[in-house]
Structure 1
Amino acid sequence: MAKTAKTASTPGRRFMKLAGMTASIASKTVSNSIKNLTADEEQKNASRSKLFQDIGLQIADTLGEMKGAVMKVGQIASQYKDIFPPEVARAISKLQRQAPAMPFSEIKAQVEKELGKPILSIFKSFDETPFAAASIGQVHKAVLPDGQQVVVKVQYPGIDEACESDLKQVRLALRLMGVLKVDRKLQERLFKEIQESLDNELNYQIEAQNLAVARAFHEKLDSKIVIPKVFPEYSSRHVLTLSLEPGESIETASAWPLEVRNALGRRLFRAMGQEIFYLKRFHCDPHPGNFAFREDGTVIIYDFGGVKTLSSEIVHHFKQLIHASRERNVTEIEDQLDALHAMAEKGKFPAGLYQQWLEVLMRPLTTHYDFAENSAHHDGVELVKASLKYWDVFKPSPDTLMVNRTVSGHYWNMIHLKVHDDLSDVFEELVPPRSA
C-alpha cells in the first residue's frame, strides 16, 4: 500500500534537496559573473536583477515543496525582507501562504503520543478536518469532556528535529548568492534572532506562556481585547489547546459601519502600542489572519508563537526617536537610529528629504487620516525615487526589524479596515510628548 508523503522528509533527502538548490544557485551566480565581465553598468544591473528573480523563485519553490521546517525558515526569512533585494523578497514572501493539510491519521498519532491517551478519551469530540493549516502544524476544532469548545494546534511530527541544519542550508544559499545586504557580524546577529524565533515558534509551551502573559496584561486594560485561554492539561510542547474565540475576518469587518471600523482600528493600534512601550513583549506577526473582529468593537488576537521581547534600553531609544520625529530634530533622529544600530553613516542623508519623510511617516499618527486613501504610502513611493541613492546610509538592525514589520503590518490592517480617524490622542497616550 502506498504511503502518504510525510511532511518532514528524512534528514538525508532534505539535505540533498537543499544541497542541490545551493549548488544550482552557486553555478548560476558564477555564470552570471563570467557573462558580465565585458558588460556595461546598465547591462550588469539588469542581469543581476534577473538573476535575483530566478534565484528567489528557486528558493521559494524548493522550500515550498518541502514544507515543514525548511518552509518555516523561508517564511521567517521573508519576514526579514529588509535584508534582501526586492526581487528575492517578493519571491519568498509567497511562502507565507497556507500549506496543504496533513492526513488526520498522522495528526491523531501526534496528539495521542503527546498527551498519552487515545484521542477520544481525551476529547469528547475532535474534528478530523482542520480549519487552518500552516507550515509547522494545523488547527482542529474539538470539545472537552465538560463541553467546552476548543481549538487544538497540532505540530507536524518531526518538524522541530531538523531546524538548525535547515537554517544553515538556507543561509549558505543566500550567502552564495551574495544577496545579504549586511556585513558578516550583522548577519550573525540577524540569523541568531531568526533561529531563536524559529525555536520559540516550534515550542508550544513558550507560546502558552506568551498567551498567558498577553491575556493577563490586556484583560486589566481592555475587556474587548480577547486572547484565547490555554488549557495546560490538554497541551504539551507539540500540542496546544485553546478556548474557541470566534470572530469575523478583516474582509468581513471592512464592510461594517465607519464608527465600528474606527473603534476596531483604535483598539488594535492601542493594543500594539501598549505591548511595545509598556509590556515590552509584543505580538510580532501582524498577518490579518491572526486577528478577528466583532461588531461590538472586540478585537481577538491569535497565534502568539511570534513574540519579541524588548529591553528597557531599546524601548527608551524608540521613545526618544518618536520625540525627535515630532520635533523634526534631524540630529537627534540620527543619534537614536545610530543607538538602534540602524545608521551606517550619520549626516549623509539630506535634511530636506528627512523633513519630507517625517511628514509622510507621521501623517497617519498626527492627522485625521483616511487609511483607505493611503496617501502616506503613495507619497512615500514618490519619495523613494529621490532617496534611493542615499539608501545605504541606513542598515537593517535586529533591534528594529520586528518593530518595523509589526508597525507596517498594522498600517496595512488599518487600510483593510478602512479606518478614517484622528489617532493622535492614542499616539500621545502611548508616548506622551516631552515636557517643554
Structure 2
Amino acid sequence: MSDLPRKAVVRTAKLAALPLGFAGRTALGLGKRIGGRSAEIIASELQQRTAEQLFATLGQLKGGAMKFGQALSVFESALPEEIAGPYRAALTKLQEAAPPMPTSTVHSVLAERLGEDWRKLFEEFEDKPSAAASIGQVHRAVWHDGRAVAVKVQYPGAGKALLSDLTQLSRFARLLGPLIPGMDIKPLISELRDRVSEELDYALEAEAQQAHAEEFADDPDVLVPAVVHQGDQVLVTEWMDGVPLSEVIANGTEEQRNRAGQLLARFLFSGPARTGLLHADPHPGNFRLLTGHAPDGPAQEWRLGVLDFGTVDRLPDGLPPTIGTSLRMALAGEADAVYRHLCEEGFVKESIALEPDAVLDYLLPIIEPAQVEEFTFTRAWMRHQATRIGDPRSPAHQLGKQLNLPPSYLLIHRVTLSTIGVLCQLGATVRLRDELAAWMPGFVAEETAAPEAVGDLCEESTA
C-alpha cells in the first residue's frame, strides 16, 4: 500500500485545515496588534507561518498538492527577502523531494506493469528512490544492456489524488494570493487541472522526451536523456548526472549561474522552434548543469540537462509570431501599432478601450530584459515587477486587470513567467536579445516583408 494518502476524505481533511490555520493566525495577529505590536511585523510573521504550513502540507500529500507547490515555488523570488528567506528551503525542497513510496509498493507496480519477471530487464535496481516528486518517483538502475537508466514509477492512485487536490485548492485560492504578490493563483490551479490527463500518460511523455532527445542529440548546449522503455505508469530513460539547478541557485559560482541562465533561456525559445513542443514544467528540479565533452577532446562549457516532459505545449509552428512582433514594436516605442496588434490577437477585448501609450508604459518594465544586450535578473527586480502589477493602487494593476489572456497563450505565459522566476533565483546575467533574435518568430523584422496593413480594430475605442 502506498504512503500516498489515497482516500479523498484524508486528503481533503489535510487541505481543508490550511484555510482554518490561516484564519486562526489572522485572529491571533489581530490580538497582537491590540497588544501593541506593529502591523508590519505581525504581517511578516503571519505570512511566514502560513507559507511554512502550506508547503509542509503540500510536500506530505504529493499528488496535485505537490504539483501546485512546485509550480508556486519558482515565484519565490517575488517575495520580500525578509519573508522569503526563512522558508526558502521549504520551497526548494518541493522541487526535488517528497516522502517516497514503500519498496513493496514499487515492486508491486513494476511487477504489474513490466511483468512478474521485471528484474530480468535490469542488471541492477536501487530500491531507494533518487528523487520523488508530485505523481511519481525515480529509481536509479542498470538496464540489461549495461546502460545506466532512470526508472520513473507512477504513484498508485495519483490521478484521483491530483484532481481531488486541485479541486480542493481552488476553493480557497483567494487565501493563497498574498503569498505571491501580483499573481492570481486560481488560473494557475485551473491550468494545472487541465493538464492532469496528459501528465499521467507516460506514453505522451515518452513521445515528447524522445522528440527532444533526437533533436538535441548533437547539441553542444543542451542534453535530453533518450527513452529506453515505456510502459503503463513506468518510464525508463537514460540516466543523467549533473548538478541540480537548485544547488546552482544555492551555491553555484557566478560562471555557473550565468551559463545556466543563458542555456535555460536558449532552451525555452529554441525548443518550440526545433521540436514543435514547449517544455512546460520549468522548475529547478527538472534541470541539471553538466560538463560537456567533445567526442575526442577536452571538457567544454557547462551544458544544460533537461528532465521531465510530462507537461508540454504542442506548438507545431513554433511560438506564435504575435509574441515576437509585439515585443519588437514595444521596444521600438510604437504604441499605436502594439495596441492594434494586441487587439487583433484578443489581448484586448472589443468592449474595452485603453490608451495605447498607457499599454506601452505597462509593458516596457516587463520587457526590460530584451531592451539591452545583456540583463542581470535579480530577486529585487522580480519583486519590483510583482509589486508594481500587484498593488491595487498602482496604474499598472488597474490596466492589467483590463487585459485579456487568450486561452492559447495561457501555458506559454505561465512557462515564460516561471522561467523568469528561475532566472531571478539564479541571479543570472543573460543575453536575452540574442536568444529572441535567433528563435522568436517576428522579433526580427523581415526587410522584404510588405508594410503591415493598418487594421480598423480598436480604431473607434482610441478615437
- Shorter-chain TM range is 0.7 to 0.9
Deviations for 1:68-93, whole angstroms, at most 9, x for unmatched residues? Answer: 324235337737989xx99xx98996
Question: Which 10-residue stretch deviates more, 110-119 or 311-320?
Answer: 311-320
Q: CA deviation at 1:380?
A: 4.4
**CA shift digits 1:173-217 (9 cap, x unpaired):** 337x6969xxxxx99986653223222222222211110122233
Displacement of 1:267 after TM fit?
3.5
* Alignment match, 2:269: 273
Specify the alignment match of 1:243 in structure 2. 238
SS at match of 1:328: coil
Q: How does 1:253-264 map to 2 (within 5 A)?
A: 258=255, 264=260
Secondary structure, counterpart of 1:294 in structure 2: strand
1:429 alignment partner in structure 2: 438
Aligned length, in residue pairs: 410
Sequence identity percentage: 23
Distance 1:379 1:57 in 2: 24
Which structure has more helix as a fraction of its residues? 1
**Counterpart position of 2:334:** 329
Residues 198 and 52 of structure 1: is their aligned pair in 2 closer, same or farther, counting only changes over 3 Å? farther
Q: Is the 8 A contact 2:336 2:357 kept in 1?
A: no
Residues 71, 55 of structure 1: alpha-carbon distance in 2 compared, 3 angstrom cutoff? same
In 1: Cα distance, 2:194 partner to 2:269 partner:
23
Q: Deviations over 1:110-147 (max 9, x none)?
A: 11111112442221110122121112221111011121
Q: Which runs of 5+ in 2 are unaligned?
A: 31-38, 179-183, 293-299, 448-463
In 2: Cα distance, 1:168 partner to 1:382 partner: 28
Give the aligned partner of residue 112 of structure 2: 113
Q: For 2:11, what is the secondary structure of its paired residue?
A: helix
Structure 2 Cα separation of the partners of residues 418 and 56 of structure 1: 23
Q: Which residue of 1 aligns with 2:3?
A: 6
Q: CA deviation at 1:26?
A: 11
SS of the aligned residue for 1:100 comes to coil
**Quick check: 1:368–1:423 contact (8 Å CA) kept in 2?**
yes
Gap change, CA 1:8 and 1:366, over 3 Å in 2 = same
Name the CA shift for 1:308/1:179 in 2 (closer, same or farther; >3 Å): same
Distance 2:94 2:342 in 1: 29
TM-score by length of 1: 0.73
| 1:279 to partner: Cα distance | 3.9
The question of whether the paired residues in 1 share the 8 Å contact of 2:203 and 2:232 is answered with yes
Q: 1:200 aligns with which of 198, 201, 224?
A: 198
Structure 1 position 210 matched with structure 2 position 208: yes
TM-score by length of 2: 0.70
AA aligned opposite 1:305: G
Counterpart AA for 1:206: L
For 2:242 and 2:169, locate their aligned partners in 1 and report how far apart those are by CA, in whole Å.
Answer: 37
For the 8 Å contact 2:273–2:319, the answer to whether it is kept is no
The structure-2 alpha-carbon separation of the partners of 1:411 and 1:18, relative to structure 1 and needing over 3 Å to count, comes to closer
Structure 2 residue 419 is matched with structure 1 residue 410: yes
Q: Residue 379 of structure 1: CA displacement?
A: 6.3
- 1:152-171 alignment to 2 at 5 Å? 152-171=151-170
Alpha-carbon distance between aligned partners in 2 of 1:99 and 1:383, rounded to the nearest angstrom: 34
Contact 1:153–1:240 (CA under 8 A) maintained in structure 2: yes
2:291 is aligned, of 290, 294, 297, to 294
* Secondary structure, counterpart of 1:241 in structure 2: strand
Which residue of the partner structure matches residue 398 of structure 2? 392
**Which structure has more RCO (C-alpha within 8 Å, separation ≥ 6)?**
2
Return closer, same or farther for 1:129/1:399 CA change in 2, 3 Å cut-off.
same
Q: What do you get for the CA RMSD once the two structures are aligned?
A: 4.8
Could you tell which deviates more after superposition, 141-150 or 157-166?
157-166
Closer/same/farther in 2, CA of residues 372 and 429 from structure 1, 3 Å limit: closer
Q: 1:338 to 1:311 in 2, by over 3 A?
A: farther
1:316 aligns with 2:292: no
Structure 2 counterpart of 1:128, one-letter code: D
The verdict on how the C-alpha distance between 1:419 and 1:15 changes in structure 2, with shifts beyond 3 A counting, is closer
CA distance, structure 1, for counterparts of residue 185 and residue 261 of structure 2: 35
**What aligned pairs does 1:4-403 form with structure 2 within 5 A after superposition?**
6-18=3-15, 24=20, 60=55, 62-65=57-60, 67-72=61-66, 74-75=68-69, 78=72, 96-97=94-95, 98-174=97-173, 193-219=191-217, 222-232=219-229, 235-250=230-245, 251=247, 258=255, 264-277=260-273, 279-292=275-288, 293-294=290-291, 296-297=300-301, 298-310=303-315, 315-338=320-343, 342-343=347-348, 345-347=352-354, 351=358, 354-355=360-361, 358=364, 360-369=365-374, 371=376, 376-377=381-382, 380=385, 388-390=393-395, 391-395=397-401, 397=405, 398-403=407-412
**Relative to 1, partners in 2 of residues 1:314 and 1:228: Cα closer, same or farther, differing over 3 Å?**
closer
